[in-house]
């Protein structure tokens, strides 16, 4: 039905107007999803900014009467995110929760709610809920930015089939990933860096967060273009670089240039990539993802990086479902 109409309707959002601008607040993995969703809004011409919820409360960004404040929170109970949403509400903002837990505090307190419907997530590290946040973010942007223009409906028509294919493609990534043998090459290295550009930057940040959470190894994610502005000083032959590069456009070419920079410092490179990219010529190993819509490729790439973290943690006998020092829901600021 969606393919025919070229528009998305979300049953929870029957009574919401298209916002003039959007601010997103979130923490941890949900913040990475917020960075991704903010880019989707901006690509549709809607000003949007993602904020770390804990920082937002110290200096809330100004908003207009048609601004929408979106809180992304898997649990719906994260204290920092709730504080940011409450502060925005106190100042008169319209609020929307994107959450997994029906009846959670965020769902109850916000003016609007959209559920990601990922099912209960037992492990402390957010995994399937991140994928669902990205998928839901796409639907949300289609719904809220639906202006009825030709461009809008064409974009939606291409996106919906890609979202429909996503479960099968995710399964094929899980079934065919070579992450286990790749990480075997890099056990006990000094540090692990993750780079990506554009929509792949949140994936790089998330790849590093997942890796450090469950392996306890030092990992950092960077915008690919930022490497040469400082982090390059850390790069050695003992610091594998996981680079997310798909397609063969200008962005991919620029990330490949960044890869050449780290290779000149003898760093091993693992590329998470699709068949279109020529990055394989420069990488020591590749982790393949199927061809899809450019907005969906980050979801598949992220799954490869989740498998990298999982297999490394498994290899190191870490407590994967319950990493040390971490709680599933962080209810203190």
Q: For residue 7, what are its two tokens?
A: 């528009």
- Nearest distance from C-beta of residue 5 to ligand M6R, angstroms: 31
Instruction: Give the Cα separation of 74 and 77 in Å (integer).
Output: 8
- Nearest distance from C-beta of residue 205 to ligand M6R, angstroms: 11
Give the residue closest to ligand M6R by C-beta. 28
CB nearer to ligand M6R: pick between 213 and 217: 213
- Nearest distance from C-beta of residue 31 to ligand M6R, angstroms: 7
- What residues line the site for ligand M6R (CB under 6 A)? 27-30, 73-75, 78, 81, 124-126, 213, 326, 329-330
- Nearest distance from C-beta of residue 220 to ligand M6R, angstroms: 15
- Nearest distance from C-beta of residue 329 to ligand M6R, angstroms: 6
- Nearest distance from C-beta of residue 330 to ligand M6R, angstroms: 5
CB nearer to ligand M6R: pick between 67 and 302: 302
Q: For residue 92, what are its two tokens?
A: 């008169």
CB nearer to ligand M6R: pick between 107 and 227: 107
Q: In degrees rounded to 5, what are phi and psi of residue 68?
A: -120, 130
Closest CA to 69 of 23, 33, 15, 12: 23
Q: In degrees rounded to 5, what are phi and psi of residue 294?
A: -55, -25
DSSP string, 213-257: HHH-S-EEEEEGGGGGGTGGGG--TTS-EEEEE-SSSHHHHHHHH
Instruction: Give the Cα separation of 44 and 140 in Å (integer).
Output: 12
CB atoms near residue 150 (< 10 Å)? 8
Helix (H) or strand (E) holding 193: strand 192-196
Instruction: Give the Cα separation of 107 and 105 in Å (integer).
Output: 5
């Amino acid at each position: 039905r969606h393919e025919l109409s070229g528009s998305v309707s979300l049953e929870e959002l029957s009574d919401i107007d298209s916002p003039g601008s959007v601010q997103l607040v979130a923490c941890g993995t949900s913040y990475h999803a917020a960075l991704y969703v903010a880019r989707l809004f901006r690509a549709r011409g809607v000003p949007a900014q993602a904020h770390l919820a804990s920082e937002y409360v110290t200096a809330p960004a100004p908003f207009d009467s048609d601004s929408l404040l979106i809180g992304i929170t898997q649990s719906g109970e994260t204290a920092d995110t709730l504080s940011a949403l409450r502060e925005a509400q106190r100042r008169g903002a319209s609020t929307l929760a994107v959450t997994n837990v029906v009846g959670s505090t965020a769902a109850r307190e916000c003016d609007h709610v959209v559920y990601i419907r990922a099912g209960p997530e037992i492990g402390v590290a957010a995994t399937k809920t991140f994928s669902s946040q990205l998928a839901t973010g796409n639907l949300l942007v289609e719904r809220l930015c639906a202006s009825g223009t030709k461009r809008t409906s064409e974009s939606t028509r291409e996106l919906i089939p890609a979202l429909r294919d996503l479960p099968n493609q995710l399964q094929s990534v899980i079934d065919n990933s070579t992450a286990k043998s790749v990480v075997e090459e890099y056990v006990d290295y000094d540090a692990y860096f993750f780079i990506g550009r554009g929509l792949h930057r949140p994936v790089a940040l998330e790849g590093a967060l997942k890796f450090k959470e469950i392996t306890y190894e030092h990992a950092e994610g960077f915008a690919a273009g930022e490497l040469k502005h400082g982090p390059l000083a850390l790069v050695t032959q003992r610091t594998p670089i996981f680079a997310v590069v798909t397609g063969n456009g200008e962005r991919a070419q620029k990330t490949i240039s960044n890869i050449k920079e780290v290779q000149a410092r003898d760093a091993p490179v693992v590329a998470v990539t699709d068949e279109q990219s020529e990055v394989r010529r420069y990488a020591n190993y590749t982790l393949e993802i199927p061809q899809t819509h450019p907005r969906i490729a980050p979801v598949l790439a992220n799954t490869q990086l989740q498998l990298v973290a999982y297999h490394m943690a498994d290899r190191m006998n870490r407590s994967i479902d319950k990493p040390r020092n971490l709680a599933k829901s962080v209810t203190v600021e």
